[in-house]
Amino acid sequence: MKYEALSMSISSSIEAPETSDIMDFLSLITPEKIQWWGMADQSQVLVNLQPPFNLLGFNELNDADLVEEDIESILNAIRERFNLEKAVVFGLSGHQGDFNGIILSPGEARLLYEGITRGSFEAIRYVYVFSGSDLIQSIFRVKVPVDSKISDVVSFLKGNGRIDVQEEYTCIFNPLSHRLFNPEESIGPETAYIAISDEELRLDSAGFFSRPSTRRKPTFRRVTPSLDSRRPCNNCLICSSICPAGLSPSILFHFAQAGSEDLDALGADLCFRCGLCTFVCPSNIPLCEGIGGIDAHSL
């Protein structure tokens, strides 16, 4: 297994707002999270350096390298520009405990810092690409222009000799929600995680948890009829504990199945379709599709 950070050619940038309202900046950096951040205490910011996956064998899989400057310098710049009460770091070291303010990834913090110090920031997104069948062979973190498509990322990796793709046999999908992707889909929150294989697989959620009985290196599982057969929800609320937007996906899913027409009033509009709820569900319920109204076969 190998992990590698790569970058596509970036040709455009976004002018930073002249205001001191942090939301004006964030609405340009990651617009799909604005409603989630809008529910937070906007006088406090936390930069989360934790790896995106707590998987045994992938301790190096984190975006801490994106914070190239001294983290204290970045925090001080953010605190002063937006007149914040608190700006802290969490993850590899530092802040612990509950936090009700705005939570930023290292990539988002880096762009925010660029906007403060340079007056503009790159028009980019970060995408994790998993390559391999059964065992994960490689994970690439790719910096891509905001107007990129999945096919652009695949072509970039293929052209640089990182993956060997035979298009007629290639399956491109979300390894968390196991939704098949159309290669012409634009890069967005649903495509932050892409898997490329010769058949549809999913990450084995057993590797996600730190309990001794499930500590093992991450692998793929084949999507089979028995694996995909949903079972009744047992109300374990694992999905609630893992949701980065603080939602209760199983509850929202039940309301959606009952025909509720006002899911946004229950917080569904805060979901940015990462797929983690589907990933950890022991009953194999497609929670992400149910909440977001996503038809996995329509694209």
Question: Distances from the Cα of 87 to the Cαs of 48, 82, 296, in angstroms?
Answer: 11, 10, 39
- Farthest-apart Cα atoms in the chain, separation: 55
pLDDT band at residue 24 using 50, 70 and 90 as cut-offs? very high
**Does one domain contain both 33 and 98?**
yes
111-117-118 Cα angle (round to 5): 80
Tell me if 158 is assigned to some domain. Answer: yes
What CATH number is associated with residue 132? 3.10.20.90
Tell me if 213 is assigned to some domain. Answer: no
Give 31's contacts (C-beta < 8 A, 6+ positions apart).
none
Ranges 78-82, 175-179, 278-282, most confident = 78-82
Q: Would you state the pLDDT for residue 206? A: 54
CA distance 167 to 200: 14
**Does one domain contain both 182 and 251?**
no
Domain boundary among 118, 144, 165: 118
pLDDT at residue 42 greater than cutoff 60: yes
pLDDT at residue 8 greater than cutoff 90: yes
Provide the number of structural domains found in the chain.
Answer: 3
pLDDT band at residue 204 using 50, 70 and 90 as cut-offs? low
**Does one domain contain both 129 and 185?**
yes
Tell me if 222 is assigned to some domain. Answer: no
**Does one domain contain both 135 and 180?**
yes
Question: Distances from the Cα of 288 to the Cαs of 30, 36, 65, 121, 246, in angstroms?
Answer: 20, 16, 30, 31, 14
Q: Would you state the pLDDT for residue 257? A: 80
pLDDT band at residue 189 using 50, 70 and 90 as cut-offs? confident
In this structure, what token pair is assigned to residue 237? 């609320």
Ranges 1-5, 74-78, 212-216, most confident = 74-78
231-262 residue pLDDT tens:
778 788 888 877 877 788 888 888 888 877 77
**Does one domain contain both 141 and 201?**
yes
Domain assignment of residue 166, given as a range? 125-208
Q: How far is CA 1 from the centre of its chain?
A: 21
Domain boundary among 59, 88, 118: 118
57-98 residue pLDDT tens:
555 566 778 886 688 899 999 999 999 999 998 875 544 556
Q: Phi-psi region for residue 33, left (φ > 0), alpha (ψ -120 to 50) or beta?
A: alpha
**Does one domain contain both 25 and 105?**
yes
**Confidence (pTM):** 0.76
pLDDT at residue 273 greater than cutoff 90: no
pLDDT at residue 209 greater than cutoff 60: no
